[in-house]
Structure 1
Amino acid sequence: MSFYDLPAWKTSSFNGFKHKYLYIRSSDSSKPVILFLHGFPDGPLGFSATIPYFIHAGYGVLAPELLGYGDTSKPEEIQAYASKNICYILGALLKHENIEEKIIVLGHDFGSSLAARFVQFYPDLAKGLILASAGYSPPGKPFDPDVINAVLSPITGYENVGYIKFMSRPDAAQIIEDHFAAFVALGYAESQVWKERLCPTGAMEKTLKEDYICPMASWVTDDWKRDIAGFILHTGLEAPARWYQALVQGVHIPGEEGLNPNIGIPTLFLQTTEDAVMTGLFTPEGQAPYFSDFTSKPFKTGHWIFAEDPKGSATAILDWFKEKNF
């Protein structure tokens, strides 16, 4: 049975939007629900190989298609993608499903920053936080790719986030759709390829317009390539690209003013050491001062840790759960 054939998928309408999500209750009443928050462009599919380990261990699973993805609503207003609004929706989802016990929030890519913001907006709703690939940044700060590249490039030897300048352009979605095969190959290429073909300013657009098919990572199977391409095509690119526009335009900043930058619940950071985008951007040493209880676990994977090493990543999380008595 494929991930999207599971009978636990639901579609509900609340807060003015339609929402699709996977919800499986905890089979062990002593164990909490894990809220899985995805990034771009894979949606909950990026967790599909990892989620079964948590179900088998008795934990509940709540994995929404976030705003702009899959069959969830795709508002055109950029303000709808502000962190405060998305977190409010997630809180409403918990209430809609009558989830009253404190949850564990797990985020990857864009979902990592969202996970951190959720526990800051709603500190009484979560007992643990997991950040994967992308780490923690304090709330209310602007995101300027040029500034980040200028700081990191002398350290890494290349620009890490130049692609975000392209992704935040209004024409990016159409360019990707016009060169879709090249986009899928680039997105799931070996990390070394990203250093040349994705990360530097202008590289992503050039790669797409050349219709260059990058060598894909060794873990990518034909089934994965089919499933991820199908999900992205079903979603479309225009709405997911609004997450990048919201990031660069700083729509989050007003709503995040006044949030406590420190997080007082146990937090696990899964550091993807071969991730060309995140290298140097999120270090354990830079994040630890914001947390009262911080654990970092390095993984020798690229960006897509839960697809590349589902067993290893799940085992590390479950071991941490035991340590924290979750």
Structure 2
Amino acid sequence: MPQHRELPVNGITMHVAEEGEGPLVLLLHGFPESWYSWRHQFGPLAAAGYRVVAPDQRGYGGTDRPDDVDAYTILHLVGDVVGLIAALGEREAVVVGHDWGAPVAWHTAQMRPDLVRGVAGLSVPPMPRGSVPPLVAARRRFGDDFYQLYFQQPGVADAELGRDPRAAFRRTLVGLSGDAVPPSSRGEGFLGAFPDPEELPAWLTEADVDAFVEQFDRTGFTGGLNWYRNIDRNWELTAPWQDAVITPPALFVTGDRDLVRGFSPPNLFELLPGALPNLRGVHDLAGCGHWTQQERADDVNRALLEFLDGL
């Protein structure tokens, strides 16, 4: 079972869950999640001889939630990873990220390859820095109703998701999974795209929903949403890394029913070696949706252990 503690990291206090001894493996969650999204990875990775640490990232769970939206840029998030490695008394780590955690992992490996023994991204591939700000491109491609644009409005999505966190988690966790049933019509807001499920799929229990609800009942959703409110700012800040490749050994895991596939280039798998010249493996999980390490824990654990053991 993972142990919990708080550490001073990059000017904030960060809550971490950790288990095992050996080479450090950092597990970075996405939105709207927490360390708990990696619950199935702790035991197998620790048993294989790794020190597994999953933080609540900035704005989430037991970690500080700065009020300033500008405190959630990609440079802050990479800085948190760099600071966490040092706070743990380590000199390097394998950095694994899912959803929003994946861009943090990719950018950490790109900006600080000296600290990254290996990098793995789940769901979200490394995205090239385009010629225009991402939200401009998203509006052109997907229209004004695209969820990332909706998330830009201060307080709006925060209130929608916070009105009933249990319904929000049941609807999004099932609705974005490989077990989702497409709705007959779309309602308003973000949650309007996802019907309230009559029952949970086998990979998700009511106790799991309880764990997420307990955290977000306490913290709200604004911290996580502030990551989205820096998307265009991140584009500005990462200009010095235009066309820079990610050099550490890399792994990519995705599901063929993940909505992120709809945002990615159709020739995604052909493009990956260009961004990841030391790509060691790609796993495309049939029937898997967005919540990769929760929906397909055994497959993800096998992929991670094969990658880790090869470093």
TM bucket, shorter chain: 0.7 to 0.9
2:9 equivalent to 1:26: no
Instruction: Please list, as runs of the form range in 1=range in 2, the aligned pairs for 1:1-326 lying within 5 A after superposition.
Output: 6=2, 8-24=3-19, 26-27=21-22, 32-100=23-91, 102-139=92-129, 142-144=133-135, 147-148=137-138, 151=141, 162-170=146-154, 171-190=156-175, 191=177, 193=180, 196=183, 204-206=190-192, 213-215=196-198, 216-247=200-231, 250-259=232-241, 261-279=244-262, 281=264, 283-294=268-279, 295-300=281-286, 301-322=288-309, 324=310, 326=311
Shift of 1:270: 0.1
Q: What is the DSSP-based 3-state SS (H/G/I as helix, E as strand, rest coil) of the residue aligned with 1:21?
A: strand
TM-score scaled by structure 1?
A: 0.83
Deviation at 1:201, TM superposition (A): 9.8
Q: Which amino acid is 1:36 matched to?
A: L
Q: 1:26, CA displacement in angstroms?
A: 2.3
Extract unaligned runs of 5+ from structure 1: 154-158
Paired residues of 2:110 and 2:247 also in contact (CA < 8 A): no
Code of the aligned partner of 2:64: S
3-state DSSP of counterpart to 1:278: helix
Q: 1:233 to 1:80 in 2, by over 3 A?
A: same
TM-score, normalised on structure 2? 0.86
Give how far 1:205 is off: 4.9
Q: Deviations over 1:59-98 (max 9, x none)?
A: 1112111110011111121221111122112212211221
Deviation at 1:231, TM superposition (A): 2.3
Cα distance, 1:164 vs structure 2? 2.0
Q: Which runs of 5+ in 2 are unaligned?
A: none
- What is the aligned-residue RMSD (CA, Å)? 2.7
* Residue 13 to residue 280, structure 1, CA distance change in 2 (3 Å): closer
> What secondary structure is seen at the aligned counterpart in 2 of 1:258?
helix
On the 8 A contact 1:165/1:201 being kept in 2, the answer is no
Q: What percentage of aligned pairs have identical amino acids?
A: 21
Shift of 1:107: 0.4
In structure 1, how many angstroms separate the alpha carbons of the residues matched to 2:163 and 2:9? Answer: 34
Write the letter of the residue equivalent to 2:282.
S
**Cα distance in 2 for residues equivalent to 1:67 and 1:58:** 28
Q: What letter matches 1:227 in structure 2? A: A
Q: Which amino acid aligns with 1:222?
A: E
Is contact 1:195-1:276 (8 Å) kept? no
| Alignment CA distance shift 1:135-1:207 (3 Å) | closer
Given that 1:81 and 1:242 are in contact with CA atoms closer than 8 Å, whether structure 2 keeps it comes out as yes
Q: 1:14 deviation in Å?
A: 4.1
